């Protein structure tokens, strides 16, 4: 761990608990009072320090202010790595507060499946989400990919204590799914989610007690379809599944790592890429009609 400066940033009462600040993904901090056009200059604003971690960081770091840990209050910066590790650092000093590996016993991270988009390993790719009121001390939710000794792939949702990094009771939960359809990787009239074929790239969305996640492929290596899933943040149980190309193929939710978005009415927005589609849509088979019927 190295530091390029001993400058201590001012404390803040603002929490950054999700990708781009809020569920609308505006990136706006409406309570900002410190930064101005006069003090954001090359002489007064810049790199504070560099912190060492054990793998690539593809997710946005998150932040909690004035978090009680032990007998002290800390401003905490959280980051995750493709080595399936979660870190908490003191944002003012750079000191590591805790580190947790979410790998199961005798597991490794996934290889890159011959795809250069997430390489050389795949672990935690997407931006987690934090709920300061969940669990005894606040919770950080992450999705990680791994591979066991038998060569089986796993995708799991983890809930970690924000002050210690310990797994909460009932966590993690194994991610699996099926959906009615005859598309890619279907069997007996159902499309089956194969954890080895997917990466969870889009930032997690926490909305009204539910965690939403979208899935993408390893480049365009088939077979794969487009998946959107929902899990209860309280029980970690799956509450809804939507397949976007159930009778076709492809349809990844990449979004360059941006978070699934939502508005004040609870509508969810995301981008779905390069999948097959029906050119003769009508009121009975419209994808929008299918989405409206899901209990999201």
- For the cut 60, the answer to whether the pLDDT of residue 196 exceeds it is yes
Give the distance from CA 25 to its chain's centroid.
Answer: 14
CA distance linking residue 126 with residue 57, whole number of Å = 9
H/E stretch holding 101 = strand 96-101
Amino acid 46: pLDDT: 86
CB 87, CB 79: distance < 8 Å: yes
Rounded Cα distance between 269 and 83, Å, is: 29
**Residue range 185-199: mean pLDDT, rounded:** 97
CB burial class (10 A; 0-12, 13-18, 19+) of residue 108? middle
The predicted structure's pLDDT at residue 276: 87
| Residue whose structure tokens are 């204590």 | 161
pLDDT, residue 282, reads: 67
Residue 5, pLDDT > 80, answer no
**Stretch among 181-185, 197-201, 272-276 having the lowest mean pLDDT:** 272-276
8 A C-beta contact, residue 296 and residue 290: no
**According to the model, what pLDDT value does residue 154 have?**
98
Backbone angles phi, psi at 195, to 5 degrees: -60, -25
Higher pLDDT, 135 or 273: 135
Q: Give tens-digit pLDDT for 158-181.
A: 999 999 999 999 999 999 999 999
pTM: 0.90
Rg (CA), the chain: 20
Give whole-number Cα distances, 84 to 79, 97, 144, 226, in Å: 11, 17, 6, 24
First to last CA, the chain: 42
> Looking at the predicted structure, is the pLDDT value of residue 34 above 70?
yes
At residue 284, the pLDDT reads: 62
Judge whether residue 286 has pLDDT over 70: no
pLDDT surpassing 70 at residue 61: yes
pLDDT in tens, 210-269: 999 999 999 999 999 999 999 999 999 999 999 999 999 999 999 999 999 999 999 999
φ, ψ of residue 63 in degrees (nearest 5): -155, 135
Confidence (pLDDT) at 114: 96
Residue 273 has a pLDDT of: 87
Cβ atoms 290, 245 nearer than 8 A: no
What domains does the chain contain, in order, with CATH numbers?
62-292 (2.40.128.630)
Split at pLDDT 50, 70, 90, the class of 13 is: confident
* pLDDT surpassing 80 at residue 295: no
Query: What are the counts of helices (DSSP H) followed by strands (DSSP E) for the chain?
Result: 1, 21
Token pair for residue 198? 């997917």
| pLDDT for the residue 97 | 98
- Chain-wide mean pLDDT for the chain? 91
């Amino acid at each position: 761990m190295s530091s390029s400066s001993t400058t201590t940033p001012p404390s803040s009462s603002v929490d950054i608990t999700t990708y781009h600040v809020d569920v609308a993904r505006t990136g706006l901090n409406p309570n900002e009072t410190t930064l101005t056009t006069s003090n954001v200059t090359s002489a007064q604003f810049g790199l504070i320090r560099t912190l060492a971690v054990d793998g690539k960081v593809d997710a946005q770091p998150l932040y909690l202010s004035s978090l009680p840990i032990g007998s002290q209050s800390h401003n905490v910066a959280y980051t995750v790595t493709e080595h399936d590790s979660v870190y908490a650092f003191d944002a003012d000093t750079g000191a590591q507060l805790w580190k947790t590996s979410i790998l199961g016993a005798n597991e490794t991270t996934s290889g890159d499946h011959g795809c250069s988009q997430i390489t050389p390993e795949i672990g935690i790719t997407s931006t987690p989400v934090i709920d300061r009121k969940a669990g005894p001390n606040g919770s950080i939710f992450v999705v990680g990919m791994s591979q066991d000794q038998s060569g089986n792939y796993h995708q799991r949702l983890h809930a970690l204590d924000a002050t210690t990094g310990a797994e909460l009771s009932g966590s993690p939960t194994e991610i699996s799914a099926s959906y009615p359809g005859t598309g890619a990787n279907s069997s007996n009239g159902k499309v089956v989610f194969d954890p080895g074929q997917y990466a969870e790239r889009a930032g997690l969305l926490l909305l009204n007690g539910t965690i939403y996640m979208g899935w993408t492929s390893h480049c365009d290596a088939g077979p794969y379809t487009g998946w959107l899933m929902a899990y209860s943040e309280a029980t970690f149980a799956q509450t809804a599944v939507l397949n976007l190309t159930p009778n076709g193929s492809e349809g990844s939710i990449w979004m360059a790592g941006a978070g699934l978005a939502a508005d004040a009415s609870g509508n969810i927005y995301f981008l779905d890429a390069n999948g097959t589609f029906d050119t003769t849509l009508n009121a009975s088979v419209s994808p929008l009609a299918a989405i409206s019927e899901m209990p999201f």
